[in-house]
Amino acid sequence: MNSKNTCSIILSHYYLLPFFLFLCFPINVMALANDSKQAINLEADSADIDDLKGISIYSGNVVLTQGSMVIKSTKLTIYYDKNKELEKAVATGHKNKLATFKQRPEGKTTDFFARAETMIYYLQKDKIHLLKQAYINQDGDTFSGDKIVYDTKKETVAANSNKSNRNDGGRVRVTIQPKSK
């Protein structure tokens, strides 16, 4: 890797920070307090960064960590607007190897976990879309369906499924664990 690519990757990590601070559903509220202060570490088989177009693409066994947060995907694409502000980020997997996200919420003993073939985070809309084989688990409460939209500001979940999906019968599945008194 030449020094220009190394510099671009380091510069790109600076632009990644807002994405990863907001990515994990209500991360701002629920993440470990020191996660956002930790270094972002990104590993991939390849990186293609185009600062002029505002696109960074990481491919091949992508693993991003920051504190307790871990994102794994086959491909991670970051889109920036003309002001170099994060517009959206797309983590993709495939049918047999889904993109995954996990993080330890503040004060919890278990991790928040999500997976899907595609995870799209829209920073300006405060929404995360989990598409195809979408699944969320938080404290044993689970949501699954063909599509889950999580509103990070309102902390709401909307889920639906494709009726032609033979794997889950075209149904949304929700499991809510009893809360101890």
Q: What is the pLDDT of residues 104-155, one digit of tens each?
A: 877 778 888 889 999 998 877 878 899 999 998 888 889 999 999 977 667 6
Question: Tokens 């629920």 belong to which residue?
Answer: 30
Cα Dmax for the chain = 59
Domain ranges, residue 18: 3-130
- What is the rounded CA–CA span in Å between residue 173 and residue 167? 12
Q: How far is CA 19 from CA 80, 152, 175, in A?
A: 10, 12, 29
pTM over 0.75: no
Number of domains in the chain: 1
Residues in the chain: 181
141 in a domain, yes or no? no
What is the domain-level CATH number for residue 46?
A: 2.60.450.10
Model pLDDT for residues 36-88, shown as the tens digit of each residue: 677 778 899 999 999 899 999 999 999 988 888 888 999 999 888 888 877 88
